[in-house]
A and B are shown apart, each in its own frame.
Chain A
Amino acid sequence: MDIFLLEAVLNGVLLGGVLALLALGLNLIFGVIDVVWICYAELMMCGMYAMYWLYAFYGVPFIAAAVVAILVVALLGVLLHYLIIEPVLGSAPINQLLATGGLLFFLQSFATLLFGTDFRNMGIRLPLLELGDIDLSFARLLAFIVALVGAGGLYLFLTRSFLGTAIRAISQDREVMGLMGVDARRVYLLTSGIGGGLAGLAACLLVLQYDVHPFIGNSFGPITFMICVLGGLGNMIGGFLAAFIMSQIISVGGYYFSIEFSYVLAFLLFIVMIFVRPQGIFGR
């Protein structure tokens, strides 16, 4: 096997970790609250700015900055649900999509207003790992490992804790859970917080690899929706696996063609998949 192809495959696996984290958050929101946050990648952008200002500007230690950034984005998630989703919870799904689309506009332009369109770099240079002839980015490896740990933590929370069980239950039957004494509103707010937190965690990992700018969400948002739908909207395990399929297409496609054409391939695959298997690859 070509050594550069192998490198592309490995990089694809590493990229898949972060995409999987984003897809998990979006799928959690969709599965439980039944809305699509089209501004999900913009929440992540907020987290990246939080990281940049805390770490690179105010000199807060990385771990502390990461904790604060995750909490900030989690709070944004709660506010998003409280202020925007709740009033439109009963309207047509497309209106909910549009309301979060308005937030996408708002966050992108507000970030432009506050910070300008400059690309901002954390100023952290992590070393390259050399495995034989293959160079791997340490930042990507770290992101991959933390993303897997995060996904594992979410899995344990959803399956082992009382609140997690309530969240899963409400995604299965909205009406009955109300009768069982579960306060849907509280569960929704909690889920939004967790979904936001996952975007925050992804932000802390991506900020090591990418410069922050107001439109960075455009590079991650669309592909994240495609991953979720490919895995079956709301199906978290499906979304997790689909992230790795998409990241392979992007990474290996980028090796053979150009990075843009590899994204074109990924989106075309998505369009075809929706026609062939609308319930997602792993849906039943």
Chain B
Amino acid sequence: MSPDALTPGALTPGPLTPGRLAAAAALVVIALVPFAASDYVLHIGIQILLWAFIYTAWSMMGRFGLTSFGHGAFLGIGAYGPALLWNYLGVTPWLGIPASMALAVVLALVIGYPSFRLRVVGHYFALVTLALSQVVLLTLVAAREITGGSLGMTLNVVHSWYALQFADKTTYYLIAVVVWLAGLAVWHWIDRGIERVALDAISEDEIAAASAGVNVMREKLRVTVVSAGLTALGGAFLTQYIQYVNPEVVAGVSVSLQIVFAAIAGGMHVLLGPTVGALFTIVLNESLRVLFGTHFIGAANTIYGILLILFIIFMPQGIVGLIAGISARAVRRPPRPAEAPAAGQ
């Protein structure tokens, strides 16, 4: 893969470059997968795409130093909201999903506004959001009369576009591709916009950014709201696909940390980083599961845990960050004469 394909530039319309051609070819391959692959491969593919979307949504704020340990809260709301509305009131997910996204956004504002106003940053912000995900998890468990508590809840199955449920995996897969691409587009839009410069400045030095005229509050709230809403959307599609939802899987500390780690493992500063994080973690998990069988429950996650520690220690920029860094260095190696003196400063 050329470095161009890894950078957001690959998405802007413009002249054809090898990078854009590679991206277009990759897209065609991804779209053609359902016509060649087995149901099992499709199943894995759908999960990778949906989780990639969720990790991408997390990295929209994570990359600016807003390390949320509470995205399980938004994911849980997205996963449960449409399911509850559908099962009990017969409300179509077409309304249920926007409603839950709105709820996630409101929650993000309720937590985000005071956090940003009072400059709750770093691990204090991580702990506040962690507490938030616990609140959502425990509320879901406590409301066991309607949510089924820790046993989870099964979606009433009606195969139709109205119910957003389908008998075949191909439709889900194509929806997942569209959702994933939309996530990348939003990431790209944030990355290209003037906000990105402002947000980078904020994550470097908040006070300096504010004195330079950046509206710190508005910029932070904006990415937080987008990130929370999209995470809820991802949770909703996961439930629509699996047709079963369990509080421990979609809310709480474990999934919140899982989101953080996968995004970081892939690399949260590059467009495809979170996607590679999803690809890497899910493929690793699946292959270890196939390799060891169900006899060794936990083997996959044990190796996963070790890798995470090694990632944080040795390559905090993530897989894609590392590859992009190496290839950028390889490209830059023969310094042009005009640049050479500048490098010495």
- A residues near B (Cβ < 8 Å) are 36, 84, 87-88, 91, 93-95, 97-99, 101-113, 116-117, 214, 218, 221-222, 225-226, 229, 258, 260-261, 263-264, 267-268, 270-271, 274-275, 278
> Smallest distance from the beta carbon of A153 to chain B beta carbons, Å?
28
Known contacts A107-B305, A113-B298; A226 and B254 CB within 8 A of each other: no
Residues of B within 8 Å of A260, CB to CB, are 138-139, 141-142
Judging by beta carbons under 8 Å apart, are B298 and A111 in contact?
Answer: yes
Q: Answer whether residue B290 sits at the interface, using C-beta atoms and an 8 A cutoff.
A: no
Judging by beta carbons under 8 Å apart, are A261 and B114 in contact?
Answer: no
| Bound CA–CA A42/B202 (angstroms) | 35
- Give residues of chain B (315-340) contacting chain A, Cβ–Cβ below 8 Å: 316
Contact sample, A vs B, 23 pairs, CB 8 Å cutoff: A87-B313, A98-B260, A98-B312, A99-B309, A101-B308, A102-B308, A102-B309, A102-B312, A105-B301, A106-B305, A109-B298, A109-B299, A109-B302, A110-B302, A112-B298, A113-B302, A218-B253, A260-B142, A261-B142, A267-B132, A268-B131, A268-B135, A275-B115
Residues of A within 8 Å of B92, CB to CB, are none
Residues of B within 8 Å of A108, CB to CB, are 298, 301, 305
| Bound CA–CA A36/B122 (angstroms) | 12
> Smallest distance from the beta carbon of B266 to chain A beta carbons, Å?
14
Residues of B within 8 Å of A221, CB to CB, are 253
Residues of A within 8 Å of B307, CB to CB, are 102
Which residue of B67, B297, B298, B313 contacts A84 across the interface (Cβ within 8 Å)?
B313
Known contacts A226-B131, A271-B131; A106 and B124 CB within 8 A of each other: no
Judging by beta carbons under 8 Å apart, are A267 and B126 in contact?
Answer: no
Q: Answer whether residue B89 sits at the interface, using C-beta atoms and an 8 A cutoff.
A: no
Q: Answer whether residue B118 sits at the interface, using C-beta atoms and an 8 A cutoff.
A: yes
Judging by beta carbons under 8 Å apart, are B312 and A88 in contact?
Answer: yes
Residues of A within 8 Å of B122, CB to CB, are 93-94
Judging by beta carbons under 8 Å apart, are B261 and A267 in contact?
Answer: no
Judging by beta carbons under 8 Å apart, are A103 and B139 in contact?
Answer: no
Judging by beta carbons under 8 Å apart, are A113 and B120 in contact?
Answer: no
Is the interface on chain B under 10, 10 to 19, 20 to 34, or 35 or more residues?
A: 35 or more
Q: Answer whether residue B128 sits at the interface, using C-beta atoms and an 8 A cutoff.
A: yes
Judging by beta carbons under 8 Å apart, are B257 and A101 in contact?
Answer: yes
Which residue of A91, A95, A229, A275 contacts B127 across the interface (Cβ within 8 Å)?
A229
Known contacts A36-B123, A106-B305, A113-B297; A274 and B142 CB within 8 A of each other: no
Known contacts A98-B261, A261-B138, A274-B120; A109 and B305 CB within 8 A of each other: yes
Chain A residue nearest in CB terms to B306: A106
Residues of A within 8 Å of B253, CB to CB, are 218, 221-222
Residues of B within 8 Å of A87, CB to CB, are 313
| Bound CA–CA A260/B164 (angstroms) | 32
Residues of A within 8 Å of B298, CB to CB, are 108-113, 214
Q: Answer whether residue B296 sits at the interface, using C-beta atoms and an 8 A cutoff.
A: yes
Judging by beta carbons under 8 Å apart, are B138 and A264 in contact?
Answer: yes
Judging by beta carbons under 8 Å apart, are A263 and B312 in contact?
Answer: no
Judging by beta carbons under 8 Å apart, are B312 and A278 in contact?
Answer: no
Judging by beta carbons under 8 Å apart, are B131 and A105 in contact?
Answer: no
Which residue of B127, B130, B135, B305 contacts A110 across the interface (Cβ within 8 Å)?
B305
Residues of A within 8 Å of B313, CB to CB, are 84, 87-88, 99
Residues of A within 8 Å of B128, CB to CB, are 270-271, 274
| Bound CA–CA A261/B144 (angstroms) | 12
- Give residues of chain B (103-156) contacting chain A, Cβ–Cβ below 8 Å: 111, 114-115, 118, 120, 122-124, 126-128, 130-132, 134-135, 138-139, 141-142
Residues of A within 8 Å of B264, CB to CB, are 98
Chain B residue nearest in CB terms to A103: B309
Q: Answer whether residue B304 sits at the interface, using C-beta atoms and an 8 A cutoff.
A: yes
| Bound CA–CA A258/B149 (angstroms) | 13
